[in-house]
Structure 1
Amino acid sequence: MNKIEFISSLLDYLTIVSQVIILFLLIILSTKKFDKAVSLIKKKSFKLSLVVALVATLGSLFYSEIVNYTPCLLCWYQRIFMYPQVILFSIALFLKDKGIAIYALSLSMLGGMLALFHYYIQLSNTKLTSCSTVGYSVSCSDNFIMQFGYITIPMMALSAFILISLLMIVSLKK
């Protein structure tokens, strides 16, 4: 296995790990039994979100700059919602400012909706509009990867956006 295959596989497995964490967060948020766990996660929510945003950003750059997958138009829009979060969380941690949670939540929810729409287009092979008509983008329905029967690049992004959203919801809990 070469370095590119290794990193690609690592990103696939990190997507699964993030989905397990999402399930865990949904369970602990749905009941009062886990208030201690919620409190612990709340303390670490910004650091965890920074890690998620950084891995998502580096992962997308890995696929476009190293593997040479040309990002489609929807990929670019998702990047607009993910990349700034690395800077937001870094500054928030440096300044100990928890006030950005609502901004990060907004960015993640909007990015997540785009990623979900993109994932739908890929799975259904729907050609709602051809991204290639803009002259610089591959089709948004193109699948560069499909691991474990469901993990595509938009699914990776969707998982990251949902995880950050849930972490920000935890951080906003009183």
Structure 2
Amino acid sequence: MAEYLLVIVSAVFVNNVVFARFLGICPYLGVSKKIDTALGMGFAVTFVMTLATAITYVLYYGVLVPFNIQFMQTVMYILVIASLVQLVEIVLKKVSKSLYSALGIYLPLITTNCAILGVALIAIQDKYSLVMSVVFAFFSAIGFILAIVIFAGIREKLEDADIPGPFKNVPIGLISAAILSLAFMGFSGLVK
């Protein structure tokens, strides 16, 4: 149980995919203008990341290792992730047209979200069991949601702030992201 707790705390705070591993930066910066859009993107990433890690784990140890074709790992993972994103896109189009249109171009970009591929690869690299891989993926996605929602909240407040001209929009966003990243570095001593 302690091992699971360490993986959870590490995935959410210490080795956060955005702040410590620098994965998923494109949606982090692109979709974080409004909290509701950021939450929608976060939930879509959570679904895809968790399911993709579970499926790729099974395929890695069920197909790639027995046939000694581990070199196909990245290609297979990308195909699984792309298929899952298509599924999410179809479901969102039917269930929530407003969220579907709010995510716009960023929904297909989940296919190339390096955080999803990175977490699936890290789970195999760190030799996690299937259950541990799923826990790691789910809580890495929770860490992604935490990062993107906090940043969206900051960006919403910055819209009303009196900011000097040269720092408006992207520059102040990047400065805020850097400060937020430094804040998360405070968790670095919790877990190795």
TM-score, with structure 2 as normaliser: 0.28
Higher relative contact order (CA 8 A, sep 6+): 2
TM-score, with structure 1 as normaliser: 0.30
